[in-house]
Amino acid sequence: MFSTPWGRRGYVSTGHGETADSRRSWVVAFVGAIAMVFTFGTPFSYGVFGRPFSEAFGIPQVTLSTVFAVMLFTFFIGSGAVGVFAARLPARAVLLACAGATGVIAPSLYVTESYLGLTLVFAVLGLALGTVFVLLASIVPRWFEERRGAATGLIFVGNGLGLFLLPPIWQSVIARFGVRRGFLVVMSVTAFAFALAGVTCRRPRWADTSAASARAVIDWVGQLAGTRTFQLLFVGIGLAFAWYQLLAAYAIDLFTHRGLTEANASAAFGLIGGVSIISRVGSGYATDIVGSRRAFLASLTCSAAGIGLLFAPQVSVLAVSIFLIGIGLGGCATLYVPLLMNVYDPERDTAVVGVFNIAIGTSALIMPLLGTASISYTGGYTVAILLTFVVTVVSLWATVVGTAGS
């Protein structure tokens, strides 16, 4: 708890008119939530990109899936590496750099035609989006004391709104303007949102920055890597998002195969993110009742149940599947950080999030290719759904064993 000379808990003043839980704090939270809409929303809309990008650039969809895998790789691994050391850097400068990078690549599809060019564009995009996510997830809660849970929930609601809104928005914009102009439009809006966050969302003046040297952080990570708990959690947390990376590669095509129009299939996939808002908001209450570990494991169980229902061809069953997957996704995305903070020193919060983002990125490097290739070479969706289910079950097992003593 923070305290003032008057002994009031939950009040922090810097002498510059800044206090915790103030109007300024809520401005930071709301602007951060707006920027969060664009962090996860675009990387996990890559299922929308496959066919139109393939037609626009003449690149097979299986090959294109490696481009989107690189985007997810830099989103998680690149930003994870930045997250480990970003506490030593001015947050505002890093956020504005991400806004600048996003603005620079906005018109890039007009000047690149090659596979390598697309790979570079999406690598930069993934790094910028992921870095903004890591910084905002670390910075916004530090502006609060009494209302920290509500503020954290708000930015993760913004994150869920992105998963809900961006897939149908991308589908609509590409259908209306084409791939190149559509990319320019969405990236320009994204750059503006990130620039607004860069101007607004700095660390509060009372928040200490990391004094640890790069060597100290690397030594700490090396010590962690030798423990069984870390090894199991590295697998468990990595695969806790891998199932969604797999699903995103084929969900829209699967829903279309089940009888939905392309627009409705994109909306149905986005609905997973929309439903996840329920569990993003409710996960804090669930954690207070049963603890972050049980709530996280319950979320993974919901995901596994929803994925299992994808084997059934009925549209009514598909609706139940989407609901369960959405509930599971929201819980996994919101609770993995509290889960890790119960296992590791919370004073290294940014470094812990960064390290385990690397685990998520490791799986992201192969999941889009694996999902797309399994469908391309089998001519159906059964193998892809089975792979997604198995990944979820393995994640559940590794997390259970890795946190057994927590």
pLDDT at residue 287 tops 90: no
In this prediction the pTM is 0.77
Q: What is the pLDDT of residue 347?
A: 61
pLDDT at residue 377 tops 80: yes
**Third-level CATH fold of 23-204+225-402:** Growth Hormone; Chain: A; (1.20.1250)
**217 pLDDT band (50/70/90 cuts)?**
low
Q: If we measure between CA atoms, which residue out of 298, 265, 273, 283 comes closest to residue 337?
A: 283
pLDDT at residue 392 tops 60: yes
* Two tokens, residue 100: 């600048």
For the segment 343-366, the average pLDDT, to the nearest whole number, is 75
Q: To which H or E segment does residue 136 belong?
A: helix 115-139
* Per-residue model confidence as pLDDT tens digits over 240-283: 989 998 998 889 889 998 888 888 898 899 899 888 888 877 77
**What's the one-letter identity of residue 39?**
T
Alpha carbons 340 and 325: distance in angstroms, whole number: 22
> Residue 145 in contact with residue 20, Cβ under 8 Å?
yes
pLDDT at residue 213 tops 70: no
Mean of the per-residue pLDDT values of the chain: 84
Instruction: Please list, in sequence order, all residues whose beta carbon lies within 8 angstroms of the beta carbon of residue 315, skipping any fewer than 6 positions away.
Output: 258, 259, 260
* Per-residue model confidence as pLDDT tens digits over 159-211: 888 888 998 899 999 999 999 999 999 999 999 999 999 999 887 877 655 55
* Per-residue model confidence as pLDDT tens digits over 31-85: 999 999 999 889 888 888 988 999 999 999 888 888 988 998 888 877 667 666 6
Q: For the chain, which residues make up each domain, given as ranges?
A: 23-204+225-402
Q: What are phi and psi of 99, to 5 degrees?
A: -60, -40
* Per-residue model confidence as pLDDT tens digits over 117-146: 999 999 999 999 988 988 888 788 888 877
Q: What is the pLDDT of residue 406?
A: 62
Alpha carbons 265 and 242: distance in angstroms, whole number: 21
* Two tokens, residue 305: 């149940």
The percent of residues in the chain predicted with pLDDT above 70, rounded, is: 88
Q: What is the pLDDT of residue 357?
A: 79
